[in-house]
Amino acid sequence: MNEQDIVELEIGLLVSAVKQAHGYDFSGYASASLTRRLVAWLGKSGFDSFGAATSALLRDALLCRALVEDVTVNVSDMFRDPPFFKALREEVLPHLRTYPHARIWVAGCAGGEEVMSLAILLREEGMDQQCRIYATDLNESVLERARQGMFELRDMQRYTKNYQLAGGCAAFSDYYVARYGRALFDPALLRNVVFAAHNLATDADFSEMQLILCRNVMIYFKPALKERLLSLFDGCLTPGGFLCLGTKETLDQRAIAPRYREMAAPVRIYRKQYAAGAQA
Amino acid sequence: MKALFYPAINLMGRLRYAHKFLLLGLLALGAVVLLQVNLYQALDRVIEPSREELLGLEAMVRLNRTIQLVQHDRGLAAGFLAGNKLLAQRQQAKAAEVDAAFLRLAEALPPEVLAAARWREVSGDWRALRQFGLEWPQQTNTLRHEQLIAKMLTLASDVADASALTLDPDIASYYLMDVIVKLPFFTERLGQTRAFGAAILARKVVTEAERLQMASLLGHTRIARDLQTANLEKVVNYNPALRGVLGSLDQNVDAGMRIALGMAQDDIIDARFGISSEQYIEQFTNLIDQIYAGGSEVLAPALRDHIERRIDKARTGLAWIVVLSALACALFAYLAVGIFLALTGQIQGVLHTLRTLSDDSAERAQLVEAIAAGDLSREVHEPPALEMGGLAARRDEIGALVGAIAAMSAAQQSLGRGFARMARTLRLHRDEERQQDWAKSGINALNIELRGERALPELTQAVVSFLTRHVGGAVGALYLHDAGRQELVLAASHAYTTGTAPRRQFAAGEGWAGSAVRSGAIEVLSPVPPGYLDVASALGQAGPAAVAAVPLMHNGELVGLVEIGTFGEFDAPRLAWLRQAAEAVAVAVGVEHARRRVANLLEQTQVQTEELLVQQEELQQSNEELEERAQLLEQQREVIRQKSAESEQASRELRRKADELERISAYKSEFLANMSHELRTPLNSMLILSSLLQQNKEGKLSGKQVEYAATINGAGKDLLNLINDILDLSKIEAGHVTLELENVALGDMASQLQALFQPLAEHQGLALHIALAAGAPAQLRTDGQRLLQILKNLLANAVKFTAQGRVGLDVRVCQAAEAGGQGRTGEALAFAVSDTGVGVAPEQHERIFHAFQQADGSTSRKFGGTGLGLSISRQLARRMGGEITVSSAPGAGSIFTLYLPLDAGAVPAAPPPAPDTARAPAIAGFAVPAGAQPGAAARASAMAMAMEDDRELVLPEYRCILIVEDDLSFARILRDTVREHGFQAIVACDGEDGLALAERYRPNAILLDVMLPHIDGWGVMRSIKDNPATRHIPVHFITCLEDRQKAMGLGAIGFITKPVSAQQLDEVLDSIGAAIARTDKRLLVVEDDEAEAMSVAALLETDGLDISIARSGGAALALLAQGRYDCMVLDLGLSDMSGFELLDRLRDSACAPQMPVIVHSGRSLNEVDEARLRRYADSIIVKGAKSPERLVGEVSLFLHLVESSLPQDQQKMIRRALDKEAMFEQRKVLLVDDDIRNIFSLSSVLAEKGMHIVEAGNGAEALAQLQAHPDIDIVLMDIMMPEMDGFEAMRRIRREPRWARLPIIALTAKAMLGDQKQCLDAGASDYLAKPVDLDKLFSLMRVWLYQAGEVA
């Protein structure tokens, strides 16, 4: 048994321990990526080995939170992939407008950049009172960050550019106040946003959604978990609803693919077909 | 040994010397006193017996005297009683004398003797003698006297004992005492002699006995005298002083004794009686008195003297001892005091010396401490010389001690001197060091201030404050050099007051400070002119004494300037320090500048790195995913490879089965061949008889009857033809056909055919053209009869299916390969029969050659024939080594070409052909003509085991049901039942087949099993519903599974569970029939705007959808009352009533209870509206750019769900009946959920249970509702809600004591352990995972409502 095998074994034990002790299930995460992130975490944490870290994790909920924070990828941009948001604005929102109240799920919302982008989009389209956004992530601390609606000033130039590329028609600066190296966004933007902790690997779905955004989350998962995730989304998406994935993610070869039609080819927006009687 | 003294040492150690000596003195005094007391007591013990002896002696003397007197009295009494009356007087006097003696004796007797019985006896006896003695006879009297005397003698020894007289320790006095004590005994002997003798003498008669007694008395007396004499000798020996007195006395007694005893001897014993009794008594009395006198006058005083001397001697000794010991005590005390005074004096001296030394040391130690603590200010004195005085000269231990102390003092003195020197040196050094320290610590502190990452403003503020404070300045300002503007700009100031705010900036060289900047050196302005600058505090203000300008230079470049004002002057060290500090500050500011630049760059880089990292992570991840995909593809390829292997296996299997079938077919053909003969026999007679009847030779039959007979005859002929054909075919198939080869002349054959078909063609108005091509041989070697049969058949078909145009036969030579046969070479002859008839679709080309194929019923009725012709022809052609091909298209005519080898004998005949199908002949489509029409769409199924069904017969006007069921026997029952109900049945045995058939035949309904190979029923259902071509088809599940809900959810119209009864099947098919009968779905569009209504109708218009339009609410209600609609599209804004009203009325009237309602409205809806609508409407669409598309989708969705609602509602009703539970009835439940649909669905379920429902859309509303409805029994609480989430709401509810026990069931979508715990922590009684399982919900509610009831 060489060192690498041992590390793999230890990681398996760690993952199982974290799952049993704290409910965070990383067993469905793509192992290469998970290993890279765990190794990076271990280097930072000061433990000699995963074995030692596991034993500490079992007893220390705070340490576990730190681990979750480090292991999950929490980097995002506002209006990331501007063509996507452009397509969202042009192709998807007109459909959502036909619902008196539309429900949107941002699964894996991380620091809330995407939620904020979406909220801005909805306000500009005059739909902010008509839509409720459910923003979930398994990482409580990033949720807390997301709730504040505050972002680093240094990123704002990039965001502004993204916003413009995404078809933004107003002055981006109308939405925030910049001070002390931070940009605080209008809290009213988040009035219709419900932030909640939700673990895509273990938890059940919400009730019916018209739009689900889960971008650049699935790439970190193993195929089985991807399937679970997609069937979760499929289960709560109403017929005619939209599923948005990251640019590197696709529904090809997935079990739910036949019920979905790709809307705007390069940006991975899928629409659930009306065919199946999903009213059950 | 010393250990033994530890307690003493300890004790002594605690005492001062004065106490020690006092203790010792007291102890010694105590010992002396004790000794003296003991001594005194010892001497006293010597004196006391002597005193007692004296007393005893006195008693003894008195006793002796008393005895002497009693003896006298005895003698007198005896004389008197004997008759000498003269004696009476004397006796009386004597008795009185005795009385007095007794009294005196009693005074002297020791108390113990006085108390004893003997004394009472003695005194009692005497009283008796005194009173009665003279009345007694003489003998008695004498005897009593004797007895008394004897007792008194005993008393004497008692006295001697009591006074310890016989125990005298002094031998000299002992014998004296002894003589005195024994004196009465001796006198008593004399007395007795006296008394006895006196009596005899008085009587003057003496008896012999008296003589003898007298003699004995005398003997005793002599012995007593001898003893006395012996004792007296001893007395004399020990008391030589008495020798003279005693000697003469003894001689007197001896003389008296001799006389008295001589008297007794002579006068009494010898009875001479020469003397009177008086004389006799006189003699004895004198003697006795003499003896007594000797005792009391000589011996007793001697003894008394002796004893008194002894007492005196003892007293003297005692006095000596007391005096001596007192003297010793006094001496001891004196010496002790001396020792004490000497010792304490010395110790005080030593102590004083030591104290002086220690005070000195302590003072020095304090100084050392002070120096160590850094206080060098105290003056250090040299210690004084020590005054030892005369103590040092002493030779005892104290002297040695003082010597040692003196040596120590000397050392101390030199130490003190050194110490003083050291202190001075230290003070010098310290002052130097302090100076350096101030500079260094200043620099250090400055460095600390400069250290750390601080923004420039903070840094400069810290620096200027520090510099000013450190040099004791009052004010300070720091200017930074702005290289861009060539100006010095104020960065920070210290203690500037607003009135004296420094200049914000100045240029280098400008003013005095500017010049300092230019020179690069510190400049000091002193004294400062008044009013130049004021330094203010709260209490006042003053101008500084000096101002220094310190330029900050870093690497030769100007960085800034510090200006400091002080009240004192700047001394050299301060200026030097400022110079040093300026460098450090300059460097720090320079570094800070650089660091800020680096930090900015670093931050940018970090952000980029982070982004790059994530991007890299994502890229890596997608790479891995691609790899996974590749692997997946590889796996799929592998699977395909396996499948192809499997299919190969399957095809081999199929081939084997085909062979088997072929064998079976051969048997069948043989059977048929035999059977046909049997059939022909009765048929013959029937034909003949019917023909006879038809002729009606007797004319008895009516025209009608003749016609019947003709029909019978015709039918019989048809049957016969059929039988012949069957026989033919079976013969060929059974290999019973043998070819009879002959040379056939083609020309003859052509003309023969021409003649045969010309009339037929003409009859149908067709042109017939038969031609031999130029290169055709004249003759052909083959079976002529068979050739003719084939050509006749082909031509007959051509004529039959051609309504107009031409029919032709062309014979030509061709290459054998053209015939399509493999391995054929050489030339062949082609007989091409062409027509301009209906033609055959290409996909039917093969099929028409198959025997017993079902075909279009209408075709068979139209064209007649057995349908076996082509089949037989092809079999025959093959037997002859040839082949028949067809080339045709619908409407373009057909060309059937028969290829034959030029010489059939040279070509091996084809093997007996494989039967095309294994279908049972019993259901053969009799009416299929050769060259069947394309209307019968069918798949050339390779399914060997497929069940017979109606797929070949499917006609548009017939209703057809697709059965998807893998259990063949059940499928067969289903098929038969379906047929009984007047449907055509198509059977598929697996899901794939079912899907293909559904798409191909578009059946009117589908009966679907779930447990199917490959794709299960659910998958089939989904695919059917996913496919736009098939999704309208109603599907009814018949399965052993119980998942009705799922089936209905997928859109099934019904669901029954196996096993099913025939009656159930009938019901199912009836309901399907009813459903199909309503082929058109009915849609009601309620819209008051005509254009809008039309456009909606146009939008939704599809085949099979009947759209009605109502332009008002009233119209809509009227239409709904008339007939059933499957779905309603409703605009809310109507002219006569609002949509809400319409919906309310609709609900009340219950005329369309299950109809889905789609609200399609341009109104924007608030939440209340939406909540209200949700009670009735299934979907709400807000009009907009994309609403038409959604409308189409929703309508199609609901139209196909229509059927499902019926059984669901029935089920609901059953459930309602069962579920009426007392526990739920009339209870009030608060539903908290932000999703109106959830509220709606839950509230309808709960309402069925008889519960009252109160709704709330978030936590805040829930609290308000709880306030408004205090009688709420249970709360169902969603967690994720806007404004106030479920956790917070539950916490707030629990804060109120009255709701502490209110059951709250949390509904959570999460499965994480922590979440559930969080629910309970927040106050939930229990929790339930979403999506809500109703059974579980009811169980939970039962539990918590029960509890609530108990508590209430």
A-B contacts (CB, under 8 Å): 167
Q: According to the per-residue pLDDT averaged within each range, which of B14-18, B168-172, B992-996, B1185-1189 is highest?
A: B992-996
Q: Give contacts of B1280 with chain A, Cβ < 8 Å.
A: 134, 194, 196, 206
SS (H, E, C) B987-1010: EECCHHHHHHHHHHHCCCEEEECC
Which long-range contacts (C-beta less than 8 Å, at least 24 apart) are formed by B358-365?
Answer: B360/B384, B360/B412, B360/B416, B361/B412, B364/B415, B364/B416, B364/B419
Q: Are B288 and B191 in contact (CB under 8 A)?
A: yes
> pLDDT for B429-463, tens place per residue?
878 888 888 888 888 888 887 777 677 788 888 88
pLDDT value, residue A118: 92
- What's the rounded Cα separation, in Å, for the pair B341 and B353? 19
Torsion angle of C-alpha atoms B1005, B1011, B1017, B1019, degrees rounded to 10:
-160
For chain A, first and last CA: distance in Å?
51
ipTM of the complex in this document: 0.70
Contact between chains at A98 and B1182 (C-beta distance less than 8 A)? yes
- What's the rounded Cα separation, in Å, for the pair B568 and B535? 13
Q: Exposed e or buried b for every residue in B76-106, given b needs 16+ CB within 10 A?
A: bbbbbbbebeebeebbeebbebbeebbebbe
Which of B83-97, B892-906, B936-950 shows the lowest per-residue confidence on average (mean pLDDT)? B936-950
Tell whether B1237 is within 8 A of chain A (Cβ): yes
Going through B540-691 in order, the beta strands assigned E by DSSP cover 541-542, 546-554, 557-566
Average pLDDT for A234-255: 84
Q: Are A216 and A74 in contact (CB under 8 A)?
A: no
- What's the rounded Cα separation, in Å, for the pair B409 and B426? 25
Which of A22-36, A210-224, B1080-1094, B1302-1316 shows the lowest per-residue confidence on average (mean pLDDT)? B1302-1316
Find the radius of gyration of the CA atoms of chain B.
Answer: 85
- Using CB atoms, pick whichever of B614, B1185, B1312 lies closest to residue A94: B1185
Which of B1014-1028, B1213-1227, B1303-1317 shows the lowest per-residue confidence on average (mean pLDDT)? B1213-1227
Contact between chains at B1311 and A204 (C-beta distance less than 8 A)? yes
Phi and psi at B972, nearest 5°, equal -65, -45
- What's the rounded Cα separation, in Å, for the pair B1304 and B1343? 12
Tell whether B1168 is within 8 A of chain A (Cβ): no
Q: How many CB atoms lie within 10 A of CB B538?
A: 5
∠B703-B704-B707 over CA atoms, to 5°? 90
pLDDT value, residue A116: 92
Q: Are B306 and B170 in contact (CB under 8 A)?
A: yes
Local structure of A185: helix, strand or coil: strand
Closest CA in chain A for residue B1047: A280
Q: Are A272 and B1197 in contact (CB under 8 A)?
A: no
Q: How many CB atoms lie within 10 A of CB B55?
A: 16
| Nearest chain B Cα distance for residue A95, angstroms | 5
Local structure of B985: helix, strand or coil: strand
Greatest CA separation found in chain B? 252
Q: Are B781 and B741 in contact (CB under 8 A)?
A: yes
- Sort residue B1105 into left (φ over 0), alpha (ψ -120 to 50) or beta: beta
Q: Are A125 and A86 in contact (CB under 8 A)?
A: no
Tell me, what DSSP letter sits at residue B298?
I
Local structure of B496: helix, strand or coil: coil
Phi and psi at A206, nearest 5°, equal -95, 180
Local structure of B787: helix, strand or coil: helix
Q: Are B1127 and B1201 in contact (CB under 8 A)?
A: no
pLDDT value, residue B1205: 39
Q: Which residues have CB under 8 Å from B351's CB, separation 6+?
A: none
The helix-helix angle for B117-132 and B17-82 (nearest 10°) equals: 30
pLDDT value, residue B867: 66
Q: Note the helical H segments in B1-16.
A: 6-13
Q: Give contacts of A73 with chain B, Cβ < 8 Å.
A: 614, 617
Whether the CA torsion B232, B238, B242, B244 is positive or negative: it is: positive
Tell whether A153 is within 8 A of chain B (Cβ): no
Tell me, what DSSP letter sits at residue B84?
-
pLDDT over 80 at B794, yes or no: yes
Tell whether A22 is within 8 A of chain B (Cβ): yes
- What's the rounded Cα separation, in Å, for the pair B1064 and B1062? 5
Average pLDDT for B555-566: 83
Contact between chains at A199 and B1310 (C-beta distance less than 8 A)? yes
Please state the separation of Cα B179 from the chain's center in Å: 119
pLDDT value, residue A277: 40
Tell me, what DSSP letter sits at residue B1150?
T
Average pLDDT for B371-393: 68
pLDDT band at residue B865 under the 50/70/90 scheme: low
pLDDT band at residue B821 under the 50/70/90 scheme: low
Contact between chains at A198 and B1331 (C-beta distance less than 8 A)? no
Amino acid occupying residue B989: C
Q: Are B288 and B322 in contact (CB under 8 A)?
A: no
Token representation of residue B484: 């861009």
∠B155-B161-B165 over CA atoms, to 5°? 115
Residue identified by tokens 């045709």 is B888
pLDDT band at residue B160 under the 50/70/90 scheme: confident
Q: Give contacts of A34 with chain B, Cβ < 8 Å.
A: none
The CB-side HSE value for B183 (13 A sphere, CA atoms) comes to: 33
∠B476-B479-B481 over CA atoms, to 5°? 160
Q: Are A192 and A131 in contact (CB under 8 A)?
A: yes
Please state the separation of Cα B1123 from the chain's center in Å: 67
Average pLDDT for A233-239: 86
- What's the rounded Cα separation, in Å, for the pair B833 and B814? 15
Find the radius of gyration of the CA atoms of chain A.
Answer: 20
Q: Give contacts of B1196 with chain A, Cβ < 8 Å.
A: 274
Tell whether B1162 is within 8 A of chain A (Cβ): no
- What's the rounded Cα separation, in Å, for the pair A36 and A7? 11
- What's the rounded Cα separation, in Å, for the pair B1050 and B1203? 12
| Nearest chain B Cα distance for residue A171, angstroms | 25
pLDDT value, residue B305: 84
Give the closest residue to B1033 by CA, choosing from B990, B989, B986. Answer: B986
Give the closest residue to B196 by CA, choosing from B66, B82, B69. Answer: B82
Q: Are B515 and B573 in contact (CB under 8 A)?
A: no
Give the closest residue to B1113 by CA, choosing from B1067, B1080, B1144. Answer: B1144
The CB-side HSE value for B909 (13 A sphere, CA atoms) comes to: 20
pLDDT over 60 at B756, yes or no: yes
More confident residue, B501 or A137: A137
∠B137-B141-B142 over CA atoms, to 5°? 120
Amino acid occupying residue B960: C
Average pLDDT for B554-577: 83
Q: Give contacts of B1031 with chain A, Cβ < 8 Å.
A: 275
Q: Give contacts of A181 with chain B, Cβ < 8 Å.
A: none
- What's the rounded Cα separation, in Å, for the pair B1124 and A30? 55
Contact between chains at A202 and B1312 (C-beta distance less than 8 A)? yes
| Nearest chain B Cα distance for residue A30, angstroms | 8
Mutate to test the interface with B, among A98, A103, A137 (most CBs of B within 10 A): A98
Q: Are A77 and A155 in contact (CB under 8 A)?
A: yes
Contact between chains at A223 and B628 (C-beta distance less than 8 A)? yes
Q: Give contacts of A274 with chain B, Cβ < 8 Å.
A: 1192-1194, 1196-1197
Q: Give contacts of A100 with chain B, Cβ < 8 Å.
A: 1164-1165, 1169-1170, 1180, 1182
Q: Give contacts of B611 with chain A, Cβ < 8 Å.
A: 75
pLDDT value, residue B652: 92
- What's the rounded Cα separation, in Å, for the pair A196 and B278? 165
> pLDDT for B951-988, tens place per residue?
777 666 677 888 888 877 788 888 888 888 888 888 88
Contact between chains at B1046 and A280 (C-beta distance less than 8 A)? yes
Sheet architecture: strand order including A150-152: A150-152, A182-185, A176-179
Token representation of residue B177: 């005492």
Q: Are A264 and A87 in contact (CB under 8 A)?
A: yes
Query: Could you please report the per-residue DSSP string of A66-78?
Result: HHHHHHS-----T
Whether residue B915 has a cis bond before it, omega within 30° of 0:
no
Give Cα separations from B1006 to B619, B979, B1032, B1035 (angstroms).
Answer: 49, 14, 11, 5
The CB-side HSE value for A244 (13 A sphere, CA atoms) comes to: 28
